[in-house]
Structure 1
Amino acid sequence: MFKNYNMNQLVLPLDLEVNLQNNDIAFHIHCLVESIPQEAFEPFLRNEGCPAYHPRMMLKIILCGYTQSVFSGRKIEALLKDSIRMMWLAQGYEPSYRTINRFRVQPEVKELIRQCFVQFRCQLVQEKLIDQEAIFIDGTKIEANANKFTFVWKKSIEKYHQGLIEKSNQLYNELLEKEILPEIERESEEELTLEELARIVQKADDVINDYDKKIEASSDNTERKTLRSERKFPKQVRKQLLDYIVRKQKYERHFEIFGTRNSYSKTDHDATFMRMKDDYMKNGQLKPGYNVQISTEGQYTLAYSLFSNPTDTRTLIPFLDEIEQHYLPLPKYIVADAGYGSEQNYDDILSNRKREALITYNMYLKEQNKKYKQNEFNSVNWLYDEEKDTYTCPNQQRVVFKYHSVRTDKSGFEREFKIYECEDCSDCPFRSLCTKAKEGNHRKIMVNKKWEQQKEYVRAKLSEEKTNSIYRRRKIDVEPVFGFLKANLCFTRFSVRGKSKVENEMGLALMAVNLRKFTVNTLVRT
């Protein structure tokens, strides 16, 4: 005996929602998008043309596709015909892949994604899944949708540009020496601008035209031959100058794209070449990518941002600004690893934002070693006389204060140092172990009092039981999110180009990770 099976009979109910499980991820996607205020959808309103698909529906089906590790517009379109949850979310509509792709890269979608994160956080607070005591910050690099071998390096462009400047100056000076062209007014003696090169080309044209008129007016073959010979050099100069103008315009476009970066990809100008941890060629090859910064709590992403610089140190301050302006007020504790430990970052968190920084620095773990603490040639372990402001080296020589020094980094942040120098390093039996200074020079040490105070603050905070327990949560809070993103969701490479489009896709992928985890946690709680 078999169960009833009849393909020719209508089966009820027709409502697809009945066929979904009670805790299906589609319900969480639906609730999240419906919680977004109506004002966020007003920029999508159009008074002309055919009525558009509702942006709530479009956002739901794209988020649902991403939660199923489907990032292609064509595959999302196919799911609309195959997946019950996608059919229910779309309510029978079947937008084409072109419509899906156009929607997810619109600038207005960025605000919808931001609202998703804000509303999702409110839901986490309501469900008591986060305590809002601390945020955990970390970054990862994700490969851009760009050719791996279309790199442009800033140092190379600077080298070629400098060579062009020298050649153009040399050619201009040669024209003046041979009295072919009159001298022109220059903004700078070091470099000819594009406008100045264009004026020189115009004057070269005038000289060539004068020779042409003389040749046409002359009937003497010998004279005509001489004039042609004299015209040859100005024509060569004009051709060279036109080539210089084209090259200079190209180099200036390169510098404009570079900005503060050292490289970019020709197929995605916003992507910077970085070293990826997942280097499948095993040769340290640089690949175009973006530095993704996220802040988490309870293994949920609460905010994110993309940066073009490969290191994390200079991303912290702008990322915290972005969090405060668009996502959430900063909690009491800001937790991050040693990659963010710098004097500027500590100063910003402690002084400007009035928060507590649970961020280690590069030498924190090494300073805990017994070998480091017992190294008598390490200036940190030298005896310091506060009254005389002197140190005592292992050879019992005084290391006295000499002068103040101020260093300014690329971002404009100033660090103040006190420079100390040993009174006499000559005939020191420990010289080879203590310093690499040349013979006749004495050992110098640089002391940054503010930096030492900040390091002492970090060591004191991490020695407290409560703050140390919060810092220890960092590894099990923020780092697993990247594992969920890359290993579970299989999101390892962007499918769009341009920073604004990449930001939208990154937000969709991170929200998909949040929804998958929230669905599992809800199932466990019930």
Structure 2
Amino acid sequence: VVEKDDISRTVKEVVEEVNIFKYIDFSQNNAHGYDAIQMFEAVILAFAINGYASLRDLEKLCKYDIRFKFIMNGSTPSHMAFERFIKDKLTMPIEDIFVDINKYIEAHDVIDTEVLYIDGTKFEANANKMTFVWMKATKKFREKRWIKVMDRLSAFNKYCSKNNLNIRFSIVREINFDYLFEVVSVIEQLMAKNSIQVVHGKGKKKHELQRYQEAFKEDALKMFKYTIYSDIAGDRNSFSKTDPDATFMHMKYDYYNHTNVFKPGYNVQVGSSDGYIRHVYVSSDVNDLRTYIPFMEGYHMAYGSYPHATPADAGYGSFDNYKYDKEHGIQLYMKYSGMRKEAEKKTTKNQFTRAQMNPNEEDKIICPANHEFTLVDTRIERRGVYPREIEMYQNEHCEGCPFKSQCTKSKTG
């Protein structure tokens, strides 16, 4: 017997009260012998319990799980029946249904949606462990390969000159795999013109032109591969060959005997209000800083409004995120890196740190020796989402100061 407070009863209650015609297309009569509403309830229940369910999982759950037997009224659809239902009759993706169910809960329960608590964690991707591509290494291999290409082009030009062939290739400085494919094509035409047979295998000597053709072809394919890698990675430092969207990250659990090995994964951000998960954002970005703005944009797209406060840890605190919050009327509840240091009481040990040298009431920065800092440079930083002004201050009174050895190693103050 299914308990009265079981989640399966909750799913059934919610589905019976929402506008089911938004989710299921009843115009087609290919029900395949199963009730479409019950199958919809089974799909929603599987996602509610496990977060994900394959077609085979749905088939097994309906056979062996009492909650799914209750939902399906004893029916046991096959995985192909679920596949046909999802493909032919389900009209909305699970993400949109998730938002709709949240709106239903909001209408039937008292939820303070003005506060959205945000946190993230990293989940390992379903990708093989040794499929990593590191962009720093890729860049190095690409540069080394191009040096070899230029040397090979010079050697081929000398070969053409020695054999009175009217062919000269320029030693280009730009990395361009199209140019290398063109070189291969010219060499193949030259081989065909001179009736040079392509040979392979042990004991067969290759013609010098064939060796050049194979070497340039390998160069072209390598350069093409490095270009593809750069396009896939974008601004990331790594990705997995079997799951290109996954980035290699440090995980909280390391089954490699705590050797701090990187694993392919995703940075999953979750926002909740009064215990209800309101929004989920899956990112390939290792850093939480750059996930906040797209997370909030997704939340606004789903619900049409922004929360008034988004408490989060110091991993989200940045100039861009604070500027975004101010633009959209969100209170600044996020800490920032170094906030704890600034909150520390000033002592003889920490008085020389940058965190303790803040502007006073007159907007002047005074060092522990009571000397004023001077503004020496101002620049605009445009690498983030919003431009920001960076001010550089310097103290020119360090010569002869008794605190200099404790304060700085700089010779210019």
**Alignment match, 1:164:** 145
2:129 matched to 1:148? yes
Q: Distance in 2 between matches of 1:383 and 1:142?
A: 40
Given the superposition, is the C-alpha separation of residues 415 and 372 from structure 1 closer, same or farther in structure 2, using an over 3 Å criterion?
farther
- Structure 2 residue matching 1:318: 3-state secondary structure: helix
> Which of 438, 441, 445 in structure 1 is aligned with 2:412?
441
Residue 420 in structure 1 maps to residue 396 in structure 2: no
Q: Which AA in structure 2 matches 1:309? A: D
> In the aligned structure 2, how far is the partner of 1:268 from the partner of 1:111?
22
* Bigger helix share: 1
**Residue 321 in 1 paired to residue 294 in 2?**
no
**In structure 2, the residue corresponding to 1:303 is in which secondary structure?**
strand
Correspondence 1:360 to 2:335: yes
Q: Which residue of 2 aligns with 1:311?
A: 287
Within a 5 Å distance, the mapping from 1:37-56 to structure 2 comes to 37-42=20-25, 51=32, 56=37
Q: Is structure 2 residue 97 aligned with structure 1 residue 115?
A: yes
Code of the aligned partner of 1:30: K
DSSP-derived class of the 1:93 partner: coil
2:7 to 25, 42, 50: 25
CA contact (8 A) 2:153 2:169 kept: no
1:80 maps to 2:56: no
Partner in structure 1 of residue 45 of structure 2: 64
- TM-score in terms of structure 1 length: 0.67
Partner of 1:299: 275
1:323 deviates by: 0.5
AA partner of residue 255 (structure 1): S
Q: 1:89 aligns with which of 71, 82, 86?
A: 71
Distance 1:313 1:369 in 2: 24
For structure 1, the residue ranges without an aligned partner over 5 or more in a row are 1-18, 214-228, 443-526
Higher RCO, 1 vs 2 (CA within 8 Å, ≥6 residues apart): 1
Q: In the alignment, which residue of structure 1 is the partner of 2:199?
A: none
For 1:400, the equivalent position in structure 2 comes to 374
Q: Give ranges in structure 2 of 5+ residues lacking alignment.
A: 197-204
Q: Which residue of 2 aligns with 1:268?
A: 243
Amino acid in structure 1 at the alignment position of 2:398: C
CA distance in 1, matches of 2:245, 2:39: 27
CA shift at 1:307, angstroms? 0.3
What percent identity do the matched residue pairs reach?
29
- Cα distance between partner residues in 1 of 2:348 and 2:290: 30
CA distance in 2, matches of 1:97, 1:345: 45
Q: How big is the shift at 1:242? A: 0.7
Distance 1:20 1:425 in 2: 77
**Shift in Å, 1:126:** 2.3
Structure 1 counterpart SS, 2:153: helix
Relative to structure 1, is the Cα distance of residues 367 and 379 closer, same or farther in structure 2, using a 3 angstrom cutoff? closer
C-alpha distance in 1, partners of 2:33/2:230?
41
Contact 1:374–1:381, Cα closer than 8 Å, also in 2 = no
Provide TM-score, normalisation by structure 2: 0.83
SS at match of 2:174: coil
Distance 1:126 1:412, change over 3 A: closer
Superimposed CA distance per residue, residues 143-199 of structure 1 (whole angstroms, 9 cap, x where no aligned partner): 11122222111111111112122222232233335535634689xx42242321122
8 Å CA contact retained: 2:342, 2:356 = no
The separation in 1 between residues aligned to 2:246 and 2:83, in whole angstroms, is: 20
Q: Of residues 165, 179, 182 in structure 2, which corresponds to 1:196? A: 179
Residues 20 and 52 of structure 1: CA distance in aligned 2, closer, same or farther (over 3 Å): same
- Report the residue type matching 2:339 in the other structure: Y
Cα distance in 2 for partners of 1:55, 1:246 equals: 51
Whether 1:240 and 2:223 are equivalent positions in the alignment is no
C-alpha deviation, 1:349, in angstroms: 0.9
Q: 1-side partners of 2:69 and 2:214: how far apart?
A: 64
Residues 55, 149 of structure 1: alpha-carbon distance in 2 compared, 3 angstrom cutoff: farther
Work out the CA distance in 2 between the residues paired with 1:27 and 1:385: 61
For 1:344 and 1:297, the matched residues in 2 are separated by 24
- Distance 1:325-1:413 versus aligned 2 partners, 3 A rule: same
Q: Which amino acid aligns with 1:182?
A: I
Q: Aligned residue for 1:482?
A: none
Going from structure 1 to structure 2, the CA distance change for 1:313 and 1:119 (only over 3 Å counts) comes to same
For 1:390 and 1:81, the matched residues in 2 are separated by 74
The letter of the residue matching 1:425 is: C
1:24/1:422 Cα in 2 relative to 1: closer, same or farther (>3 Å)? Answer: closer
- Provide, for residues 453-490 of structure 1, a one-character-per-residue CA deviation record: whole Å limited to 9, x for no partner: xxxxxxxxxxxxxxxxxxxxxxxxxxxxxxxxxxxxxx
Which runs of structure 2 are paired with 1:346-385 in the superposition (5 Å)?
346-351=322-327, 353-371=328-346, 375-382=350-357
Deviation at 1:378, TM superposition (A): 2.7
Conservation of the 8 A alpha-carbon contact between 1:40 and 1:112: no
Report how far residue 434 of structure 1 moved: 1.4
What is the identity, as a one-letter code, of the residue corresponding to 2:379? S
Task: After TM superposition, give the deviation of residue 259 of structure 1 in Å.
Answer: 2.1
- Distance in 2 of aligned mates of 1:434 and 1:41: 70
Q: Structure 1 residues 97, 183: closer, same or farther in 2, change over 3 A?
A: same
Deviation at 1:114, TM superposition (A): 2.3
Question: Aligned AA for 1:242?
Answer: K
